[in-house]
Structure 1
Amino acid sequence: MDFKPFLEGLQSDLKKARTDIPNIVKRVNYSIRQCHYVLSIFKKAVLANEFESIEKEIEFFKNVKTIPATLLIYNSQIRSFESEFPKANIETQRKFIKKRLNRINRFYRNHHDFIEYIESGRTHFDEQYFTRKYLNVFPLGSPHFYFHDPDFSTPKDILLSEYKAFDSFVGYLQNRMIDRSKVYVDKPGELTSKINLQWTASKSALIELVYALHYNRVVNNGNAGIKDIALAFQQILHFDLGDFYKTFNEIKSRKISRTKFLDDLASGLQSHMESTEE
């Protein structure tokens, strides 16, 4: 079975939902349903057909199933967070967010060896971690059965999805640390304004801009780090950049234009200037 069209369709649906469904709870509920739907299709295909080889099974459970599973867990975490998020004062909200961050840090500590295995790019345990025949040998890596079925799970595929989801969820929590939809002031009587800006171009486009600002040293006289600039854009534009270091490496590997968005920006501005001079 060719899984690629389903993955591309899912990612397109969720991207469209970010603009079509402004309510965060409704959006994540929709996203969760779409992820479950794709996973159910994958499950039927896997149960109906044998993998051609161990390598094919590893590839599926390590790199294919983990895409919708990661999105499912990420959106499930957001739904849980938003449903319990306190409506009281800002300090209470910040404490609540910090507790969630501490919970994720515990997850990282508890699974340090596995995370190091993944991040280092090692593969010598892949057969034990990402094939079903070792399910009775290795304990399940995660106690959360987001989509658990012994015929459709390996010892570590859900744990890997959880790790990837938490990596993105940390960024979400950092954005919520300060609600940028409102600008709070210390002095009574000062203007309280609302900012409602949403980035609607691609993630790689915004990352091009972040790196361009950093390496041209135009923020804080060049003393602002890439992460600081990225976080600021995430907060102001209500957009999750995810693993922007990884995306930047993908941008660098482009064969045509590695600065496509910046080139388009310059071209668009130039065209506007020329049209207004006529």
Structure 2
Amino acid sequence: MKKYCNEIFFQLEEKLNELSFEVDDSIYLSEIAIKMILGCLAELKKFILEREFKSDEEEIYFFKHLKPQMVSKLIYYNTIFKIETKRPFGGEKTLRKYLNKELEKLKRFFDNNLEFYKYYRTNSTYLDHKYFVRGKHDIKLSLDTFYFEADHSFSTSHDYKVAKILANDMIQVYLEDQLSISNQKKYDNDSLKWTGSKTALTELIYALYANGVFNNGNADIKVIAKVFESMFNIDLGDFYHIFMELKFRKINRTKFIDSLRDALIRKMDEQDGQ
């Protein structure tokens, strides 16, 4: 079950990454992404309903960790679609006010679900049998109205809430990036310029992305790339294509990362010898 789900998620992630580098319009991108994710969710639902979970532990793992990964993408792109279609015309002040209101919505969700945030973020498990097993909901555990209208054969009382938490992390990154552009609080383009190769920077960005060092591993690769482009005054162009070339290198796929390690060790050795 886990292997099958991970394969679907990997394929979806690959398609979404390709799409993000081919389409610049956020509204159009979101429309296509939503259709992709809905298709994958339908496939996933069919797979789950045609089999039985081997144990409560397997069911909990699916609804706590696997399904929310995909649903969070759906929530994210649907929210971006709404944000962009309602983006106000006017000056930067109007836009900043609008974006800050969207951030406030995320804050309200956090405040209203603080206890569950604590439970989920601390990897607690003592209520998993009520949160993530179908048909075991407890009305006293702050259920969303959404749950009562959901398909209970493919939903538990809190799997959507986990997806919402993951999505909100990504939405926050998106909104803060838009605010940064609006406020023009980018690094001075003349202060630091990337003088290495685009391939080297791409390797570094993907290494940081793969290691999950931004936003608890929930930052979108395209957002990370944009920040680096802005920070170092460089246009990476077809970022995903460069990564694919790295993937298919026959010798030393991590050439730049290895050179960083060697350079740092040399620097340490030099200072030790002083």
TM-score (norm 2): 0.68
Q: Which residue in the other structure is 2:162 paired with?
A: 160
Q: After superposition, where does 1:109-120 map in structure 2 within 5 Å? A: 109-120=111-122
Counterparts of 2:110 and 2:62, CA distance in 1: 24
Q: 1:235 to 1:15 in 2, by over 3 A?
A: same
Counterparts of 2:139 and 2:185, CA distance in 1: 54
Alpha-carbon contact 1:94-1:177 (below 8 Å) kept: yes
Deviations 1:23-79 (A, max 9, x none): 111111111111111111111112111111001100111111111101111111111
Residue 236 of structure 1 aligns to which amino acid in structure 2? S
Alpha-carbon contact 2:9-2:70 (below 8 Å) kept: yes
Q: 1:141 to 1:200 in 2, by over 3 A?
A: farther
Shift of 1:180: 6.6
Q: Is residue 2:77 matched to residue 1:82?
A: no
Q: Which residue in the other structure is 1:131 paired with?
A: 133
Q: 1:149 to 1:261 in 2, by over 3 A?
A: farther
- Root-mean-square deviation (CA), in Å? 3.5
Q: Select the structure that is richer in helix.
A: 2
Q: Is residue 2:227 matched to residue 1:233?
A: yes
Counterparts of 2:67 and 2:99, CA distance in 1: 29
| Structure 2: unaligned runs, 5 residues or longer | 187-197, 214-223, 232-251, 263-274
Deviations 1:195-234 (A, max 9, x none): xx9x86685435599x8xxxxxxxxxxxxxxxxxx79826
Shift of 1:179: 2.6
Shift of 1:5: 1.4
| Structure 1: unaligned runs, 5 residues or longer | 185-196, 212-229, 238-256, 268-278
The number of equivalent residue pairs is 214
Deviations 1:184-205 (A, max 9, x none): 9xxxxxxxxxxxx9x8668543
Q: After superposition, where does 1:7-156 map in structure 2 within 5 Å? A: 7-135=9-137, 137=139, 141-143=143-145, 148-156=150-158
Considering Cα pairs closer than 8 Å and 6+ residues apart, tell me whether 1 or 2 has the greater RCO. 2
User: Which residue of 258, 263, 266 maps to 2:258?
Assistant: 263
TM-score (norm 1): 0.67
What percent of counterpart residues are identical? Answer: 26
Q: 1:55 to 1:175 in 2, by over 3 A?
A: same
